[in-house]
Each structure stands twice: as C-alpha cells, then as structure tokens.
Amino acid sequence: MNFTWTREPAQFCITDERITITTEPHTDLWQRTYYHFRNDNAPVLQTETEEKFFTFTVRTDFSESHHRFDQCGIVMYLDSENWLKGSVEFENDQFQHLGSVVTNHGYSDWATTAIPADVKTMWYRFSRREDDYCIECSQEGKHYTQMRICHMWEGAGKIRFGVYACSPEDSSFTAVFTNFSVGPCMWNAHDGQKPDEE
C-alpha cells in the first residue's frame, strides 16, 4: 500500500511494521452540525483505490492519550466535506467514547458508546461494498462487532482510506498503528429482504 499525507504532521515515523503519529494541539475533523464550527486540520495518511469490494484492517494503540477528545483510528477522507472516521476518544479516567463520524456534503454526525478508560488498543475493520461502507471494531482482532453502516454520497468511485490521529484541545500524544492489511470484503452481502426493483 502506498500511503500519502493530507496535512503531514510535524512528528511521525513510518516503517514496514508500524506507523506512529504524534498529534498537535487543536487538530480535528468536524463539519458544522450542532457545534456550528468547522475543523479540518487533522493529519490523515491514506492509500487510494477504485476497488469496489474490500476490507481494510488495522490495530490502533492509544495508550498515551490523556486529554479530552484525544483520538486515533481509521478514516476515509475524500475532501473536507465528505469523509468518515472511526476511533476511540479519551474522555476522563472513568470512560472514553468508542464512536464514528460520517460527514456527507458538509454535515457531520457522531455516534458513540461509552467504554472503560482502561481500554488502550482497538482493532478496526473498514469494508466497502460499492458506495456503502461498514466500520467494525474488536479488542483482540478476532471477533468484530458492527459500529456503523453508512452511505457515502461521494463514495462511489475512486476513494482514499487509511488512518488519522488528532487532539482537538490543548494536548498531544503519540498514536501507534500496526497490523495493516487489505483483502477481500469481509462484510457479506445482505441475506434478508430482497432489494427493491429499480
């Protein structure tokens, strides 16, 4: 996989086995909804594909996160107004947010669930079926649970996907990414109700 930066961070390290990103304060990805501000300055490291069916897997280690909203995870960043991300965001010493954000045409949403603060690693599977996408997570990299299924209005053709890390408030930490893989789509076709006829 050939990765390229969107907003290269000041501190990072890339080897065959791992990638580290040291976040800079006041970096984030968000568009408009609820907060009525736009943040579009997080570093994003991605590869490009036109493949319509695949699964991308990566393990994240955020042991150093320590401040509210410190986060790292998977991302599909098409442009400033069309992207999605899945991550764990630090909240406090009791809990943190496992969640995802989907941004279509300049408006973000945020779906979360609380997890214990002592969780310091998370695996993600990002799967594509044409212009629909699925994010799954796992604590041990074997048994995955669904976080999000979504449609991306600008996600039908060539896309970029990869990893990101950021610290929206006055903080910095080093995120570690390992166990990268891309393979056949692990998100199976729906086997229930038949599709509507066009």
Detail the DSSP E strand segments found in 32-186: 38-40, 44-49, 53-61, 71-79, 82-90, 95-104, 107-116, 121-129, 132-138, 145-151, 159-166, 174-183
* Entry field: residues in the chain: 198
Please give the span between the terminal C-alpha atoms of the chain, in angstroms, as a whole number: 37
CB 147 within 8 A of CB 86: yes
pLDDT digits (tens, 9 = 90+) for 28-67: 999 999 999 999 999 999 999 999 999 999 999 999 999 9
pLDDT digits (tens, 9 = 90+) for 143-182: 999 999 999 999 999 999 999 999 999 999 999 999 999 9
Average pLDDT, the chain: 97
Q: Is 25 helix (H, G, I), strand (E, B) or coil?
A: strand
Look-up of token digits 């290269």: 8
CB 96 within 8 A of CB 115: yes
CB 96 within 8 A of CB 118: no
pLDDT at 24 over 90: yes
pLDDT at 198 over 80: no
pLDDT at 97 over 90: yes
Q: Would you say domain 4-183 falls under CATH 2.40.160.10?
A: no
105: left (phi over 0), alpha (psi -120 to 50) or beta: left
Confidence at residue 181, expressed as pLDDT on a 0 to 100 scale: 97
How far from 49 is each of 54, 56, 76, 130, 184, CA to CA, in Å?
A: 10, 11, 11, 12, 13
Rounded to a whole number of angstroms, the CA Rg of the chain reads: 16
How far from 45 is each of 38, 56, 115, 117, 127, CA to CA, in Å?
A: 20, 14, 26, 26, 17
How far from 28 is each of 11, 71, 92, 130, 198, CA to CA, in Å?
A: 16, 9, 18, 27, 40
- Please give the distance of CA 69 from its chain centroid, rounded to a whole number: 14
